[in-house]
Amino acid sequence: MKRWLLGLAAVLLLASPWPTSAAETAYEWNVADIYPSEHEWMRDYKTVKNALPKLAAFEGKLDDAKTIAKLFALNEQTARKLEKLSLYAHLKRDINIEDETAARLGAKVEALAAQYAAKTAFIEPELLALPERTLRKLQKSKPLKAYRYYFHELREQKPHTLTKREEQLLAKLSPALGEAENIYDHAARGDYEPPSVKMPNGKTVTLTDDQYAAMLEHPDRRYRKAAFEAKAKSYEAMEQTAAATLYASVKADELYANVRRYPSGLAAALAADDVPKEVFDHLIAATRRHLPALHRYVELRRRALGLDRVHSYDLYVPLVGETMKPIPVETAKTLIVEGLKPLGADYIKQVHRAFQERWLDVFPRPKKYTGGYNTGAYDTHPFILLNYNGSLDGVLTMAHELGHAMHSVYTNRAQPYHYSGHSIFTAEVASTANEWLMLDYLYKQAKTKEEKLRLLIEQIEQIRGTLYTQVMYSEFERMIHDKVRQGGSLTADELNHLWLGLLKTYYGPAYAADPGAAHGWLRIPHFYDAFYVYKYATSLAASYTIVSDIQTDTSGKAVKRYKQFLRSGASDDPIRLLKRAGVDMTSPEPIERVLGHFAELVDELDRQLPSQNRQRST
């Protein structure tokens, strides 16, 4: 999702977003928080290695609650240390890809993790082989009281569990069944050569992903079009390979589902998160009902840009003027602290801790990983990697990753290790809730019509990119999975046809579907992780409902419910966790609510645009 810089007259300073060199370390991780030295790292490494034979000694003995409880306790102690070992090496590598110590420790811990996986691989198959009556008895037993939801999940897996020999065979086949994604990665990232285009100033630029995204925002339409057509042409060279790998991946998904006695690949994917099919169905149906609002937004873009039709290369160009001043990092911190205050004093206290205790590695530098993420271990604080550039996108990304971090903080304080994880279905709720709060705060703080218009469009684009687009992707996934399950094949021409048809349906009569746009499906690596992208849309809808309730509730109950959600981790299925937070994702209401908001935003944009100078795209 593309965002644009914002000039906030009340808070922006005439300064670089980067601090002075004397303050730089305050914006870098201190990995010594994990291990003060390699000596301490090696001590835990040896402890884990020594524990492996003890874990393996439990194999064949999992038939009573006390024995299983002892195994779980030892396994947790070992896994927690292994998690810290891996985190330390991983973070050192990401802040300096050429760090030889990080490479050496990373290799050691990867090998150790493989040994650990091999020694503990017997646990779930052995438990699943127990009779249903025994599993039910274990679930209710006193020694395993802390694992009751774990046994609930285990019992739900049992109807889809094969014999021991079949499970072993499927495990051996798994690498081959997943090879399609590896082949795609090599074709899309290794063999693929990005094209180049000539800029208006005569300079030739290679269309890397970042450069291409920037070029689609260029005010010169001829340049945007040239970049789009060059990129589309370059995709043609790999579309047959991409079609073959996607077909192989979908076949593997459907085969896996069939072998495990699921009716479809979709059902198997939903079951992995304990999500009922109605959630997926409501998402598609509700979004379809609200397509007229998206069509209207595309029409407003057409009018604002002075076009006859909106092409794919016109969907990202800003509708207002060029960017303003960069937002210094200290200002970004102030904005985030103020914007997140509705979540309460304790939440803000943890945000302050994040900045004061160097949980964030903020700025880009040579040899540092170029993406952004939040990570951590159960026994450490969170670690947030950013490449902050002073833009509004940078501020919102910081708030987004802090949402993930706070989710971990609250969960780890309240839950035992085995419930400390988060399903993607719930994890993105905590991060996008922060974005909603920030967008609302910034909109209220904006001093000029242009600033308000920028933020209005930003909210529209957030819903378009995170909900409408991801739902369109999900429809495409359902179509290709249905086709393969019914015995059909997937050719490049068929995939292009399906993709182009969805683009026309979603963007409406003001959109011109260029043939080059038909190749969009082959640039989405998430399609190799079946039915993953719909979770972005459901999370955005859930977080919108939560934030709306927080903003209108004067009793504090909505914040209290949300904090309880943050504390819950993976202690129950995602649907029940969200219901306790006030969101029923089995109902279409959350989707209807956020898409109703989208329609209101488009109405407001329609009112504001006539007061702006109309553009005439060249």
Report, as residue numbers or ranges, the catalytic residues.
401
Cβ pair 518, 497 in contact under 8 A: yes
Q: Which residues 6+ apart lie within 8 Å of 237 measured at CB?
A: 192
DSSP one-letter code for 572: S
Rounded CA gap, 246 and 526, in Å? 11
Q: Which residues 6+ apart lie within 8 Å of 101 measured at CB?
A: 38, 92
Rounded CA gap, 604 and 453, in Å? 9
Give the H/E segment covering residue 205: strand 204-206
Rounded CA gap, 233 and 199, in Å? 18
Rounded CA gap, 554 and 572, in Å? 28
In 3D space, the residue among 54, 56, 48 whose CA is nearest the CA of residue 83 turns out to be 48
In 3D space, the residue among 557, 597, 562, 532 whose CA is nearest the CA of residue 249 turns out to be 532
Cβ pair 398, 336 in contact under 8 A: yes
Q: What b-and-e string marks burial along 155-182, b requiring 16 or more CB atoms within 10 Å of the CB? A: beeeeebeeeeebeeeeeeeeeebebbe
Residue 39 CA neighbour count, 13 Å, CB half: 2
Write 392-397 long-range contacts (CB < 8 A, 24+).
392/3, 392/4, 392/5, 392/6, 392/327, 392/442, 392/454, 392/458, 393/2, 393/3, 393/4, 394/17, 394/327, 394/332, 395/327, 395/332, 395/335, 395/336, 395/438, 396/3, 396/435, 396/438, 396/439, 397/372
